[in-house]
Amino acid sequence: MFETELFLEALPVLIEAFVRVTLVVTVVGSLLAAALGLVWAITLRELPAVVARPLAFVLDFIRMTPLPVHLLVIYYAFTELSPITVGILVIGVHYSTYMAESYRSGIESIGKGQWEAAKALSLPQHRTWRAVILPQAIRNTLPSLGNWAIAMFKDTPFLIFISVPEMVTAAREFGGRHFSYVEAMTVAGLLFLLASYPTAVLMQKLEKKLAY
Segment 37-79, tens digit of pLDDT: 999 999 999 889 898 999 999 999 999 999 999 999 999 999 9
Q: Quote the pLDDT of residue 211.
A: 61
**How many structural domains are present in the chain?**
1
56 phi, psi to nearest 5 deg: -60, -40
The string of pLDDT tens digits covering residues 79-138 is 999 999 999 999 999 999 999 999 999 998 888 888 888 878 778 888 888 888 888 888
Check residue 41 and give its pLDDT. Answer: 95
* pTM score: 0.90
62: CATH: 1.10.3720.10
Q: What is the reported pLDDT for 121? A: 79
User: Side chain identity at 122, as an amino acid letter?
Assistant: S
Host domain of residue 81: 4-210
Q: Is the pLDDT at 208 greater than 80, yes or no?
A: no
pLDDT of residue 204: 79
Q: Is 165 helix (H, G, I), strand (E, B) or coil?
A: coil
State the average pLDDT for the chain. Answer: 91
CA distance 149 to 21: 15
Whether 2 has a pLDDT exceeding 70, the answer reads yes
Give the per-residue pLDDT at 82.
Answer: 95
Query: Average pLDDT, stretch 20-36?
Result: 96
- Contacts of residue 64, defined as CB under 8 A and 6 or more positions apart, other chains included, come to none
3-state percent breakdown (helix, strand, coil) of the chain, nearest 5: 85, 0, 15
